[in-house]
Structure 1
Amino acid sequence: MNELEQVAVTSESIDKQVMIDHLINEYSDGLLHLVYTYVKNRTTAEDLTQEIILKCYEKSHQFQQHSSLKTWAYRIAINHCKDYVKSWHYRKITLNEKIIHALPSKSKNIEEEMIAKSEEDEVTKAVMRLPIKYREIVFLHYYEELSLVEISNVSGVNVNTIKTRLKRAKELLKQELKKEAY
């Protein structure tokens, strides 16, 4: 039994400090990767992850232990990311980045292009091009290794819908990777 479970068993409410320590030590990397699948920017993902951990701390009194702490934190993260992606700030930054990337760069050399075409990079890029509803499922299932039931709890989507989305995501990834191969 881990430290958080011991505290939960011995008292009705989880000590906020133990909870935040557990979130940071056990789930911060996973939260960061989850957030990155939404915003596609490392710095922004780091900032949002800190905001999410703070939000978990502030809302710790709402954690009713109906699900695991990980599931609860991931649900908060997903909702926070969805709100951020809808925000004016995010849309403005995304538009600016698209304009900057559209400008031709003279600093690329052949070696950098070869590195960019590595197999792992291609898969990551293909996953990041998936619509968010598929990207979220792929991340939670393959990276976080959550079961379909856990993904259902985190996302609030029916298990059968999760299965369908996972199957469709695999099909889309195959199509994307075939395009890259040609």
Structure 2
Amino acid sequence: MILSKEEFHSKRREEILRELIYLYAESIKMLAYTYVKNWSAAEDITQDVFIKCYEKMEGFRGDSTYKTWLYKITRNKCKDYLKSRWYRSFIPTDFMKEKIETTEELSTEDQVINKFDDLELSQKVLTLPTKYREIIILFYYEELKIKEIQTLTNLNADTIKTRLRRGKQMLQKNVERG
């Protein structure tokens, strides 16, 4: 079977999209949740991100990694959602539930304590002002480097470092109080 040029490009784009979904869908959903604090909205945004990715894939210049590009799309979609008149704030209750891993080495009691601690810390991260929360999540949860965060947010590296430091200080105060 011989494919036309358009069919070949379409198949190649679908393969790339499939791989990107496999690699980043959960991370994108988590990132979207940190902005919108609603799982169903985060899932919708995740779908929108991959639709946009498919539509704009030919224009991807490779100035950044696919991951950074997808995070930038996610960030923009979340901001659009938050500006929309349909936006409503929800209290986060299960942030990072899917991220919390259990291991067979830990007793059931230790696993429960670790899950509670991780969930409690995640909820405290969500209480931070957006400019600190965003940087903390990108750096610690998504494990992006300062340079990648700089590309994603268009912020100066020193600003990112300052927000990381201040965000950690705020978290420390919250943990000490709680």
Q: State the TM-score, normalizing by the size of structure 1.
A: 0.75
Partner in structure 2 of residue 47 of structure 1: 44
Partner of 2:18: 21
1:150-171 CA distances to partner (integer Å, 9 max, x unpaired)?
A: 1111111111110000001001
Counterpart AA for 1:80: K
Q: Which residue of 2 aligns with 1:112?
A: none
Letter in 1 for 2:66: L
**Percent of aligned pairs with the same residue?**
44
- Kindly indicate which of the two structures has a greater share of residues assigned to helix: 1
Deviation at 1:64, TM superposition (A): 0.5
**d(CA) in 2 for partners of 1:22, 1:132:** 30
Structure 1 gap ranges (5+):
1-13, 99-114
Question: Cα deviation per residue 1:95-130 (whole Å; 9 max; x = unaligned)?
Answer: xx57xxxxxxxxxxxxxxxx9x93222211110001
Question: Which blocks of at least 5 consecutive residues in structure 2 are unaligned?
Answer: 1-10, 92-112
Match of 1:131 in 2: 129
Say if 1:122 and 1:177, in contact at 8 Å, map to a contact too: no
CA distance in 2 between partners of 1:18 and 1:140 (Å): 27
Runs of 4 or more consecutive aligned structure 1 residues displaced over 6 Å after TM superposition = none
Residue aligning to 1:173: 171
What TM-score do you get using the length of structure 2 for normalisation? 0.77
1:66 to 49, 52, 63: 63
CA RMSD of aligned residues (A): 2.0
How many residue pairs are counted as aligned between the two chains? 147
